[in-house]
Amino acid sequence: MENPVAQTDELRLSILNSLSLDTSLEIINANLVAKGMDESLSRQVVAKLAIELGLAHKAIWDKKMKSAGILCAIGAAVTGGSYALFAGEGMYLLAWGPMLFGLIRMAEAYSRVEKIKAKIVKAERFARNEAAV
């Protein structure tokens, strides 16, 4: 007889792997039902794992957005500081690299976070068995 904890872990990893590959919630649910799992339980499990995965990814991208903002601010501070120190001499340092990289990274992170939020909302609706809008 197999260990139920091992079976649960294997099932969880299988679902998370499918979610990571962007398999639709409906397909994952249908596969679980085909394996004998109750439909409502399957919906709840798939939705819960989809939300957990989404929140984990959102936390990662939120952190990247914050670090990009800090990098951009450092570039702006270096530029402002050098201008204040050397403006009378006609030269100053324009730290455009960190500012540009920070802005691009913040835009990328913002875009990813919005997509992740949409996936979380979809998973919440899936759990409630609502039609997608």
Q: What is the pLDDT of residues 116-127, one digit of tens each?
A: 999 999 999 999
Q: Which of 103, 95, 113 is nearest to 70 (CA)?
A: 103
Q: How far apart are CA 33 and CA 50, in angstroms?
A: 17
Show the low-confidence residues of the chain (pLDDT under 50): 133
User: Would you call 23 helix, strand, or coil by DSSP?
Assistant: coil
Model pTM? Answer: 0.82
DSSP tag of 3? -
